[in-house]
Amino acid sequence: MIQIDELRIHLLRMPLVRFFETSFSRTTERSIVLIEVVQDGLSGWGEVTAGEHPFFNEEWTHSVLEIVRKYVAPRLLGKQLQSAAEVGALSAGVRGHNMARGGVEAAVWDLEARMNNLPLWKHIGGGAQQRIACGVSIGIQDTVDELLETIDRELQSGYQRIKLKIKPGWDMDVLRAVRKRFGDIQLTVDANSAYTLADVEHLKQIDEFGLVYAEQPLSHDEIIDHAKLQKVLSTPICLDECIRSPHHAKQAIELDAGRVINIKLGRVGGFANAIQVHDIAKEAGIPVWCGGMLEAGIGRAHNIAMASLPNFVFPGDVSASKRYWKRDIVTPAIDVDAQGMIDLPQGIGFGIDIDHDWLKQVTVQTETLRT
């Protein structure tokens, strides 16, 4: 039985080791919201994956704080629930804001796993894969030479797949240079909605590069245009921003708007929905993989648990802590072996310890909400 007595909202500020640039913005420092739910003195933790600005989707750090404190926490605190799977429905009346709602939902799953003395991956029905295949997402660089150097370093670390962020002006020529230097590596691109159907002729050139998939070329909310584009591309389209719910996954698959799905825990509103998207895709023969949102250790550990479900067939954006942080808030920091794999952690809940000393140092604000 779940009945949360207390919900703490922790706001963290953590500079990235190196800037990360997408078609929509450059991030140098993260403002991260952590959710801690407490029942009978036991804590469960979740990480909200919203960015610092409403550019990836409508959410950002401060909308998260407001949505959690005003709408999500009051609907959860004190309610008696049979399982964490019921948490999402409590705030179903809130339109959108899946990341804020999903961070809270994931924290309750983590707590429930701890109550049952289970690793989170086992608690969500995962573990079909005991080792998680990892790729890296490489942001837009100032020069092609810097990009080539970065790719070289990541390949030498063992990462199995390279995903390049692209946008108009940083796309086909860059891909040509990468193929020329690195040959037949597992390569993908992610445009974060930087193109429209007016760019179809340009986008068709992408087929010459033998990519595993091209992620979210068109608008964040445009399933139909992606279906039109998929008709004229041989490269599989992978949907990220467009898939915010199990229903969207069904629609996109039915329309052949994408042949791969990137599942992000926060974007779909938490574990219950992520598992449903996974199952719908599996049933339809659509491979999925685990996306990333520049998470700190808790979000990273939750992603690892999710990626142990059987249909996570492509390497995820679940890379080592040290690519992002000089010191992560979990200990040991998450690391990837020379084969580009992460072993599932065996501890209960999300499976690794929080580095409470460091967490304290990077926390700029904590707010406690009670029944």
Which of the residues 231, 250, 264, 322 is marked catalytic? 264
Type of residue found at 148: L
Residues 6+ apart with CB under 8 A from 272: 84, 85, 87, 88, 105
What b/e readout covers 204-216, taking b as 16+ CB neighbours within 10 angstroms?
A: eebeebebbbbbb
Per-residue contact track with ligand OSB, 262 to 301, x per CB under 6 A? -----------------------------xxxx-------
Q: Which two tokens stand for residue 314?
A: 């492509």
Please report whether residue 48 would count as binding ligand OSB according to CB under 6 A. Answer: no
Q: Which of residues 171-200 bind ligand OSB (CB under 6 A)?
A: 190, 192
Q: Which of residues 309-338 bind ligand OSB (CB under 6 A)?
A: 317, 319
Q: Which does 112 bind (CB under 5 to 8 A by kind): Mg ion, ligand OSB, none?
A: none
Distance of CA 352 to the CA centre of its chain: 19
**Smallest distance from ligand OSB to CB 67, Å:** 19
Residue 165 is among the residues annotated as catalytic for this protein: yes
Can you tell me the distance from the alpha carbon of 371 to that of 75, in angstroms, rounded to the nearest whole number? Answer: 10
Residue 326 is among the residues annotated as catalytic for this protein: no
Q: Which is nearer to ligand OSB, 2 or 50 (CB)?
A: 50
Q: Which two tokens stand for residue 213?
A: 């998939």
Among 137, 188, 273, 311, binds ligand OSB (CB under 6 A): 137
Beta bridge partners of 331: 353
> Closest Cα partner for 111 from 302, 360, 364?
302
Q: Are 301 and 352 in contact (CB under 8 A)?
A: yes
Select the span of 1-9, 46-54, 160-168, 234-242 touching Mg ion (CB under 5 A).
234-242
Which of the residues 70, 79, 165, 250 is marked catalytic? 165
Q: Which does 110 bind (CB under 5 to 8 A by kind): Mg ion, ligand OSB, none?
A: none
Strand 187-190 vs strand 162-165: parallel, antiparallel, or unpaired? Answer: parallel
Please report whether residue 190 would count as binding Mg ion according to CB under 5 A. Answer: yes
Among 47, 59, 240, 295, binds Mg ion (CB under 5 A): 240
Strand 260-263 vs strand 288-290: parallel, antiparallel, or unpaired? Answer: parallel
Report the greatest alpha carbon distance in the chain.
60
**Smallest distance from ligand OSB to CB 79, Å:** 32
Distance of CA 176 to the CA centre of its chain: 28
Q: Which does 137 bind (CB under 5 to 8 A by kind): ligand OSB, Mg ion, none?
A: ligand OSB
Q: Which is nearer to ligand OSB, 113 or 277 (CB)?
A: 277
Among 4, 12, 14, 22, binds ligand OSB (CB under 6 A): 22
Can you tell me the distance from the alpha carbon of 334 to that of 42, in angstroms, rounded to the nearest whole number? Answer: 24
Select the span of 11-19, 52-60, 151-159, 211-219 touching Mg ion (CB under 5 A).
211-219
Q: State which H helix or E strand residue 94 sits in.
A: none
Among 21, 110, 225, 240, binds ligand OSB (CB under 6 A): 240
Type of residue found at 278: H
Which chain residues interact with ligand OSB by CB under 6 A? 22, 56, 137, 190, 192, 240, 291-294, 317, 319
Active site residues: 165, 264
